[in-house]
Structure 1
Amino acid sequence: MKGRKGRHANPTRSEHVLVQEPLVRPADDAGLRSRVVSEGEALKYDPEFRGPIKGRSCTDILCLLLFLVFLVGWGVVAGFAATSGDPSRLLYPTDSFGRVCGKDPGLEDKKFLFFFDLTKCASPKVIATGCPTPQVCVEKCPSKNWFYTSATADKKDLICKDTVNITQMTADKLVNEGHCARYYVESDDLAGRCIPKVPDGVIDMEGVPILDDENEPVTGELLAKASKFLARFYQASEVADGVFQDIKMTWWILLAGFGVAMVVSFIWILLLRFISAVMIWFSLVAFIGLSGFGAYYTLNKYLTLRNIDNSTMTKAEFEFTTEFSKYAELETTWLILFIITVTIFLVCLLVLIFLRKRINIAIALIGQASKAVGDIMSTLFFPVVPYILQLFFLAFFCVVALFLSSAGKAEYRVMCPGNVCVGCSGVTENATCNFETFDNSSCPGAMCQFYDYYVDPNIPRLHIYNVFGLFWSMFFISAFGEMVLAGAFASWYWAFDKSKDVPSLPVTYSFGRTLRYHIGTIAFGSLIIAIVRMIRVILEYIDYKVKQQTDSKIVRCLLCCCRCCLWCLEKFLKFINRNAYVYCAIYGKNFCVSAKNAFSLIMRNIARVVVLDKVTDFLLFIGKMVVVGGVAVASFFIFSGEVPVFKDHIPQMNYYLTPVIIITVGTFFIASAFFSVYSMAVDTLFLSFLEDCERNDGSAEKPYFMSKDLMRILEKKNKFKEE
């Protein structure tokens, strides 16, 4: 009996062998031997098995070399972008001479762009061709209405091009020769451009007959129309600037919000370690409660706004507003939110009712994952490493994209105010020109003006390379974290005595094994996912272009089906990859072999996978959503001013939703980093459990490696008694 007991402490193992392989393979470096038989038949085992094998070699080396070459190429793209791009072109406006306001020498204090004659902008084509009027950088936008007359002209009121010496010319000559603006009106700054104020849709010109450069009357309606088109053109930039200003004002609050999210996530995971059943049921009830409260709150807001007469807000006024708060004043917004929240509420309620028995089993499995995490506490802190690496590559991608977007040379085009180019020989509107050598003697009034920056045809290809680099690097780092955690949790599962046989520093050893032997396998798996994701992005772009070119329902339906199929394919491949990483972490095989073995094992136990593993993933997702939803709701009430305690401490912002959205998104990623540990623990333990059930039968010669609690949950037991 003592001999048998010793055998229990050192149970035998076998290497998992591909089904339908009709031969006996020789022992590997660890002395492993296995005999291939029909599916489900017993296998031979090695008494020295202690979890992830030690005798292994490097896998998928060619993919590793390909990944390294790709990273070198990405560095070359970054170098080209850094030498060719200037992000200030995207952040600041550019005058008629191609100089960047507030950036170029001599214009450091002139951050705003002023248009000489806004009536030339009163056409939709300004979005494509630019406004055909001189544009200069000024220190501040006009704060009054001013117009030129010979009797009242004063040089101190003029806004002129800084390339002319106004001290040597009279005011009449400066204005009549086009060196200075003939008029200007009170304006506001919109994305660095001086746009006239339009309080009631019409600019008040105080009854003064202003004439433009062609001696045509300038009316308030005409200026309002021009302002409308310019506002359309620069509205997105103005919103971005407002969001940037909000971030600058609330950066310390955002950091505090991220800190709170991290603390809440850590406490949640810590409680899950000791009272997993209570926390899971609380997560379910809390999520249903949050969605139910959301449905009630949105319905109440919808009914309230429905009874309010908001017909005074015209469609035009709303269309051109840059205030996000206007959306909260529309009953349609709250109706959409109500439909979303009530749908989530009903789905979760039905899941709770019909899957309550399966939920109990899944909770027990999470409890086992909690014990594994508790025995290997370093797994809770390891996600910080891939998280920081992902932030680095994301920042690298953004910087390269920014520089690539601003790469190019200044391009000048012919501008023809009032169609002055009609009938002129050799001068064509919107044709490219050379600013220094342009001659308008044959066509007076025509101007060679800065239009945009010429983009090299290869820049779009570099953008594609940069985007693919982001996908591959992010998936690579995520896969690396998954394999390291899988190796650590597999060491815990395959320890026969969980209190004594778990190796010390399992995360460190798993990290070393992965880094030394299996970087190529990770590069292989992440490359597959990156390719599928890139195809999805290209298909989204094609769908966007198709919407602009045709209204064919058949074409759009086919594209929608393709997008849906690719989404399903990506999800399926991620599932296969995740289990392949678990198999590779344990047995040290290459990607293809690991993926095939893992998939075969899953297909032989598909019922258990669907019923148990996926319900467990759903419960962990609910827990994560409770953390994210709780922080999001709290930040919404705080920043909207509905919490009196914080109301006086919140700075005035352009859009109060800016910090709410940022904190919510940040909380999602922070919570994902913590909950991913549990998710990987569940997947690793579950795959190991399936392997354990196939190899072992609970007899004295083939005892189960699973813990006693897991055996009780799944109605398994070892058929021997220990003395």
Structure 2
Amino acid sequence: MSDDNDHDDDKLEAPADWDGPVEDRHCTDILLLLLLWGMWIAMTGVGIYAVTEGDYRKVVYPLDYDGNICGTDFGSIDMSDHEKLYYVNNYGAGVCVKECPEVKVENIDDPNVTNRADVRTLITYDGLFQVEGNILNASYIDIANYSTSSDKVSCTQSLCYPDPTDPPSSWTSRGINEGFGFAYYAGDTYEVLLRCYYTVDAEQEISEAVNAGDNTGLVPDEDIYDFFNKLYADLWVARYYVLGFGFGFALVFSLFYIFLMRMPFLLATIVWSSIFLTICLFAIGGYYMYGLADDWEDEDPQIQDDKTINATRYVGIGLWVIAAILFLLACCLRQQIAIAIGCVKTAGRAVNHMFAILAVPVLQGIGL
């Protein structure tokens, strides 16, 4: 090992009688070369097609119930001016809107109370539907025009609000159908990734007004509004720390790691220890599963059925088989593993002698 280290910095020199490469040089793998060319041509074609025909909005922007992509003209209706999605039911279907609406209306009976929802105003597949007693104006939300949609379903009083004086009657109507219909109550929302979500206060107010209990579900049980607010705030405050540790510290640590890779036996110890621990993990897992099956079988009275016990035992045996295969592969491929370790060590030496190569990913990132 010491001899190898002594020659690390020696320059390679050709023998005096060396006449250069052989004259008869040719490709030794025509098939692989053709496959490589084919891959280059195919990827170039895909790239050209993606640039000329592709649009990232098809992936990022939400899809409404009618198959239109909000914020684009892809679909039967031009939604270029309505890029947000307002959810209408628990299936994830909704309508495209211009902005996620906010509902903050002073309560008529108590000026100290602010209403966050209007259960007499419904957002439907065919726009806005209101019954007597609504507190929101029709202009509070800008919904796309679905009049030409073949899949639209319109609300009528019998379908969505059988008794305007009794909001709970609407909850079980065909239109709302306990959150699984084609209409839902207007409420205060906030935007996350171009999607409008009900605030917890709005959903709670709706639930109390229609006696829905805990069955409302267009907003998760946890306060995701507060969660996303805190998440974005934390990311913004810690942006310099994230950049510093995510890039600067990682770069310094990688240099230190590459330097350590040159130390005798260190890289080999890491590689072989990882292989050994992986084999042990499968072997111990097999022992645990097999022993667990035996314990279940010895229980009196027996709680687990025979099918479960046998399946657990077979899983244990399978883990042992995998451990044995990995052990045999490690033994049979030990020379190849040693060569790979040597290649990594050589690459580490090369990087230590060419620090400028570390600027390549930085330049690539700037180029993107």
Name the TM-score, length of structure 1 as normaliser. Answer: 0.25
Higher relative contact order (CA 8 A, sep 6+): 1
